Structure 1
Amino acid sequence: MEKFEDLIQSPTPVLVDFYAEWCGPCKAMKPILEEVKAAVGDKVRIVKIDVDERPALAGDYQIQAVPTFILFKNGEPVWRHSGVIQTNILKGVLAQHYV
């Protein structure tokens, strides 16, 4: 399994979805993320982190609410959002960070 720290060091933007299985808004994001992934392809990597399975990691990034999205590029967080986000807004944010 790839270590989180290694994963986010990529020059390819990595969108991390901090979520929980019990979270209704997280479930609402599933089709949105699938649509975004279909649109951006390999330009952005999308990774899901279950905060209940990785509480220390969630703590490291001060995740207070789920879903919380953090976009990393070269190991640095370049964008952060908590809550449901519309497909076109998320695609627009990601498009600003393509290699």
Structure 2
Amino acid sequence: MEKFEALIQSKSPVLVDFFAEWCGPCKAMKPVLEEVKGQLGEKARIVKIDVDKFEELAQKYRIQSVPTFILFKNGESLWKHSGIIQSKELKETIEQYI
């Protein structure tokens, strides 16, 4: 929990992917996240949080469905999206905060 709080204090955008192992759409997002990470490189971080292992975090951020993505910068939640999202849209969203 403390590590997570420190991580989202970053001056660079941190995209958190709240997912579950059993979730089909979460699995479908894996190559999309890898593509976006490849395009953004060091300008932003992408972190995966398993909601079944980190229930406290899932509750704190009111995760009601997976996948849910929250973009943080300086500890602030800037954007939230639930469900599948295209790589172009995701990349453009993150780039607004770089």
TM range (shorter): over 0.9
Deviation by residue 1:9-66 (Cα, 9 ceiling, x = unmatched): 0101100000000000000000000000000001110000000000011000000000
CA distance in 1, matches of 2:45, 2:91: 13
What TM-score, normalized to structure 2? Answer: 0.97
Q: 1:39: which partner in 2?
A: 39
Q: 2:18: which partner in 1?
A: 18
Q: 2:62: which partner in 1?
A: 62
Deviation by residue 1:43-98 (Cα, 9 ceiling, x = unmatched): 11000000000001100000000000000000000000000000100011011010
CA distance in 2, matches of 1:94, 1:6: 19
List, as ranges, runs of 4+ consecutive aligned residues in structure 1 with deviation greater than 3 Å.
none
Alignment-mate amino acid for residue 37 of structure 1? K
Equivalent pairs counted in the alignment come to 98
Same amino acid, percent of matched pairs? 68
Give the gaps of 5 or more residues in structure 2: none
CA distance in 2, matches of 1:91, 1:45: 12
CA distance in 2, matches of 1:42, 1:77: 20
Q: 1:49: which partner in 2?
A: 49
Give the gaps of 5 or more residues in structure 1: none
What TM-score, normalized to structure 1? Answer: 0.96
